[in-house]
A and B are shown apart, each in its own frame.
Chain A
């Protein structure tokens, strides 16, 4: 079946604009994760969903960042009033189980965000 998909694949926006990034996890995966991949910073955890709830949002860098998940499936990461330092590749991953289950995380192709 299809893997994790993300859209758009690339997004160029102007500083101060809001952006929405979408993630479609693998069907049946209850856990969903957002990460940010920046040059020299590796992968930074942003937020974790179990079903529609987000028990861990400790990685969100500021209140300009928010995310939601509906129907236990699709998730949207929203960045308000984008700044140049938000430029990065945003990765989504999903897994069968949640915390403590050590299930393999399957990653999407990422959305490359460029803030001019």
Chain B
């Protein structure tokens, strides 16, 4: 069975501090992983996907198959990064989401 674990419900940092949102997965096949973000009063949207190997809004995420992790990182957090972040794993039919981590960036 596929599973996504986000161990932190809440991560609170100060502006300018580095951020790492943790995500671990369990999947028997070759994983396809995503990070989705939901800003306050906005709909859920794709932030990045691992196959793109791109940086979006300063965020990056590297797939580590050995550690079965896909942590989301940003070197310098901004107040506008405050949002709910969900890690997701593509299965045959659909996405399996983690329970999410709320990121709060304080000035």
Contact = CB atoms under 8 A, between A and B. Distances in A.
B99 A107 contact: no
Interface residues of B, number: 20
Contacts, number: 51
B44 A91 contact: yes
A: contact size bracket: 20 to 34
B97 A42 contact: yes
A3 B98 CA distance: 24
B101 to A, nearest CB: 10
Interface in A66-106: 91, 93, 99-100, 102, 104-106
Nearest to A31: B94
A34 B96 CA distance: 12
A110 B93 contact: no
* Listed residue (A48, A105, A106) with the most chain B CB atoms within 10 angstroms of its CB: A105
B94 A56 contact: yes
19 contacts: A3-B43, A40-B9, A40-B99, A42-B99, A42-B100, A43-B97, A45-B93, A45-B96, A45-B97, A48-B93, A56-B93, A91-B44, A102-B32, A104-B46, A104-B49, A105-B95, A107-B43, A107-B44, A109-B43
6 closest Cβ pairs, A-B complex: A42-B99, A56-B93, A43-B97, A107-B44, A48-B93, A48-B94
